[in-house]
Amino acid sequence: MVASLTSHEPATGVLLWQGEAGDVDMEVARARTAWPKWAAQPIAYRIETLRRFVNVVRRNEEALADLIARETGKPLWDARVEVSAVMTKVDVSVAAYSERTGQRRLEANLGARQSVRHKPHGVMAVLGPYNLPAQMPNGHILPALLAGNAVLFKPSEKTPAVGEMLVKLYHEAGVPQDAVRLVQGGPDVGKALTAHPDVGGILFTGSAQTGIAINRQFAAQPSKILALEMGGNNPIVLWDTPEISAAATIIIQSAFLSGGQHCTAASRLIVKDSLADRAIAEVKKLADRLIVDHPHASPTPYMGPVIDNPTADGLTESFLYLMSNGGRPIKHMVRTQPGLPFLSPAIIDVTAMKERPDVELFGPLLQVVRVAEFGDAIAEANNSRYGLSASLIGGTPEQYNQFWSNVRAGVVNWNRPTNGATSAAPFGGVGISGNHRPSAYYAADYCAYPVVSAEIETPRASIGVGLKDIDVTAMGD
């Protein structure tokens, strides 16, 4: 029996999409069959096809943004930013492919040459998240297709409608039907897909728990490429600055953009004790002004709901846990609409907690830690198994250099939010935030593998040592 799937709008509870889980074996077989023909196409053909994808998305820009907003609950303006990133990713991927996996020729001895070229892995599985349901998987799918792979895309079971539309747009642009396949389903489908012997690589974005399980699954299979992006418990450090208002704005953007449902969202504000009261008051004042409403509301909201009620329940329970174990509430987390996953942004001072949980609280919940010395701020920033994003607000150039050199993160910013990373640069983390395969501009690295060839048009060879002398007499006979 095929499992039935549904998706409901977080902001209204209305049924948005209904469908069935995919047949993993069938979809892998179709992609496996299509891959050789797609890989054999010249790179210029694949580039042209994916440039057409930009035009197709542009024609459907508002429809895609509206669907993202309704299925995730994020404000329409936020969804439009995501669609824009989907389109700009094509040019970035083309430039990255040329720079990082382009063909190279090197001269060698005897008139030969060394050639470095890249081959696709074959069939790649892309497992996408719900928070950026078009942008994040698109960041894997585009470079994988460009390199000549076929792609099996499993969207999050919480955002199947966006996943379905994204694949339709690829097909409309001319990507062969079987070169990019949609595989709907929950965790069981994901496990079957990643375990399939004909899948040559897994490109995953999601929780550390799931990513670690996938990594463990392939510990004995080094032949499969595995790229993991697993979120963070990200610190933002506030130090000496006269620009408290601007600092508060950066902190709000870092902690509460998209309802805090970004892997780069700031979960921890680490603040110099002498600045703390004034800075926290400014952050709270701005947080109190944030409009939380449905995606199409007027006036325009800054935040929508989180993805679903179980997520909202977990976040409110986390806030209560922090409060019950030494946390001092600065701004309470409130369920603003009964029966729907709307949460007010919450701030809690956890300085007095003896043991602060090192978990990714994927929502609008900011923890505050006060410290006295800059070295203590760096130590507190590193007090996590995660290592995705970190930001310093204020401080001197020398302190920023110290921060950059010592903080453990794959994205380190100064006087900028922890989130909003550009796809024109590598994106990835350390610790349990990733497995040292950064995406974005560096996605080209894991979508194809290098092949080195020594080449010459005419066979030439000689052995200069280790041979017996020729017996001239014997040759005469």
Q: Which residues are catalytic?
A: 229, 263
Sole residue written with tokens 């947080």: 287
174 close to 46: Cβ distance less than 8 angstroms: no
Rounded to whole angstroms, the Cα distance separating 26 from 475 reads 67
Sheet holding 448-455, edge to edge: 104-107, 113-120, 448-455
Helix (H, G, I), strand (E, B) or coil at 374: helix
Sole residue written with tokens 């999409």: 17
Helices (H), 203-346: 208-217, 244-256, 273-289, 309-324
Helix (H, G, I), strand (E, B) or coil at 6: strand
Rounded to whole angstroms, the Cα distance separating 331 from 366 reads 10
> CB under 8 Å to 37, separation ≥6 — which residues?
176
The burial of 353, by beta-carbon neighbours within 10 Å (0-12 exposed, 13-18 middle, 19 or more buried), is given as middle
The burial of 56, by beta-carbon neighbours within 10 Å (0-12 exposed, 13-18 middle, 19 or more buried), is given as middle
Rounded to whole angstroms, the Cα distance separating 325 from 354 reads 8
Provide φ and ψ at 85, rounded to 5°: -65, -35
| H or E, element range at 190 | helix 187-195
Rounded to whole angstroms, the Cα distance separating 74 from 128 reads 17
Find the Cα–Cα–Cα–Cα dihedral 32, 34, 36, 38, rounded to 10°.
Answer: -130
DSSP single-letter state for residue 134: T
